[in-house]
Chains A and B, each alone.
Chain A
Amino acid sequence: MSFFRVEKLGIRFGGVVAVDDVSFEVKRGEVYTIIGPNGAGKTTIFNLIGLIYPASSGRIVFEDQDLTGLAQHRVAELGIARTFQNIELFEHATVLQNLLIGRHRHRSTSLWEEMLFTGSVRRAEIAQREAVEKVIDLLDLAHYRDSRVAGLPYGVRKVIELGRALASEPRLLLLDEPSSGLNPEETDEMAFWIEDIKKGLGVTVLMVEHDMNLVSRVSDRVLALSEGRVIAEGTPAEVQSHPAVIEAYLGGAAVSPPLSPPLSASS
């Protein structure tokens, strides 16, 4: 059984074909990155996987479960979590509450039990909070635990996005441009966390990214898209030196040397 695969996925908005016959497979435990110039359809693919809008053609299969036609909230229940390119946090709630909402799929109490706040509800609450604390520890968010999200700096909010997705204990994590808007130090930290997530938590990561250093550093395999179509797939080095990829980014007959080898981990 394959862990996650996308078969001939396509969508058109009116006359515009945003994604055209895209197929790829993600193996369990790997970090798989999708790259491509702006407008290539990367985030659209994420939105299709997340069932935010239905695909025009093709299908998405996660652990042998076909996602086609399912209700949108079922995606998280199946064990797929995602972050958003333009942060979509719950602004008027605290960081802790944001993370707790991330654990929604693990709830076990009924409405009446909750209104009476029985012992089982209290025990369930404590269990939720223990699970969330692990994520807070991993991402160093303890300082912000009780702060309202609305006033926090951008870099911290990206981390909270990640934390909220992790809090749901997903088996597949979709990261939409995790390093956008982060400075080099924060990007470095993000790389560490992605590696931690892969090795320490055993979570499979499907990522959209622009920062090629980050891509080279953490990815096992890379998929390159352009104008909604697949143009290359392979290891980071293979894809980055692929002529079609270079042409998509730089256009025309421009020839440029392959990008430098991945930076070694440094502190």
Chain B
Amino acid sequence: MRFVFKTNYDQDIRLFKHSGQVFWYGLLIAALLVAPSLVDEYVMSQLHFILIYSIVGLGLMLLVGFTGQISLGHAAFLAIGAYTEALLQARGVPFVISLPCAALFSAMLGFILGLPALRLKGIYLAIATLAFNVIVEEVITRWESLTGGNTGQHLKPIVIFGYSLASDAAFYYLCLALTILSILAMMNLLRSPTGRAFVAIRDSEISASCMGVNLAKYKTLSFAISAALTGIGGALYAHKVTFISPEQFTLLQSIELVTIVILGGVGSLHGAVLGAAFLIVLPQLISIAKDYLPGNVAGSGLQAVVFGVVLIGFIVFEPLGLYGRWLKVRTWFELFPFYRKGMFRRQKSYMKSERLR
């Protein structure tokens, strides 16, 4: 097992803790860069979705996993990003401007949603975000003069400085670049005072405030950044599906986004990507399995059942999520044959009333 002997502060601060990490992540990036020439159109399409949902997952992970808030309404920001992009493109605004606008507008609305969050916690916050989602969806549906209502919006391929990104590979590289930038931005944030302030709010608000953390400022900031990332994901999503309509951004979508965070592993950036990948791959697996199952079972309900069972299973058996499982597997290999069962087991906790949190 590798032990890193630290002799200066930079070793603690920098992104890659040791050369092994540089090697493996470098390999991953290299593989991702050559992927378009190696995989077929279908896999490419799935990769598009995985990258897009990774960005959204990062946003939600920041809010839920690192700042300890809840949002059952993030599909609203997906919608806002998507519609901002669609409407600006329809008016001839270039992508390099419309994308930041989508992010900015989402951030503003995220900030607004963050304001009630200052006084609300737990289930109250969940319901407030849920209400927000429903209201945004309804506004988009009813404001037909602006959004086209239920007839939706069409999008044309992205054009950056005259260069068209209509091809699968070009769009892939754009998504990949934005995903990597988002991950880097989040990692940087988390190793600096702002990121630590978020974590402090998650673990003990009153304590954080007594240490000088302005709860109002950082909670709304977290909502804003989270919404901005989700808005960027929404803009990319709009271009991916080329046709958007209000019913793509319902509460069910919001819940799926939250499952990215839970399945991936709350509180880890890796988890956002792993969760997104799992969420995209799972329906494919179910489709394949349908061929082997009897007629009744292989209906439309199968996806719901599997989804529900997986969600429950993960929470009950693998609360640390996919990233947690990955850590355990990796530790098993590193420590072989000294791995002990229960190394990651948290102390059994008893129900603590959250009514007085």
Contacts and interface: CB of A to CB of B under 8 A. Distances in A.
Is there a contact between chains A and B in the complex with CB atoms less than 8 Å apart? yes
A142 to B, nearest CB: 12
Given A125-B192, A126-B10, A129-B12, A76 B199 contact: no
Contacts, number: 110
Given A101-B213, A111-B194, A90 B188 contact: no
DSSP majority for the B interface?
A: helix
Interface in B26-85: none
Contacts of B221: 111
Interface stretch (A30-38, A113-121, A200-208, A254-262): A113-121
B288 interface: no
A175 interface: no
Interface string B233-272: 0000000000000000000000000000000000100000
A117 B200 CA distance: 20
A89 B191 CA distance: 19
Contact of B9 (A82, A111, A115, A126): A126
A130 interface: yes
Nearest to A148: B346
DSSP majority for the A interface?
A: helix
B202 A92 contact: yes
Contacts of A122: 10, 13
B200 A90 contact: yes
Interface stretch (B130-138, B203-211, B299-307, B332-340): B203-211
A151 B203 CA distance: 15
A90 B213 CA distance: 13
A200 B221 CA distance: 39
A81 B136 CA distance: 43
B274 interface: no
Report the contact-size class of chain A (Cβ under 8 Å from the partner): 35 or more
A91 interface: yes
Contacts of A72: 209-210, 215
A199 interface: no
30 contacts: A72-B209, A72-B215, A73-B215, A74-B212, A77-B212, A81-B210, A81-B211, A82-B210, A90-B202, A90-B204, A90-B208, A91-B203, A91-B204, A104-B196, A104-B197, A104-B200, A104-B212, A105-B212, A111-B189, A114-B193, A116-B185, A117-B188, A117-B191, A121-B188, A125-B13, A126-B10, A129-B13, A130-B9, A164-B211, A168-B212
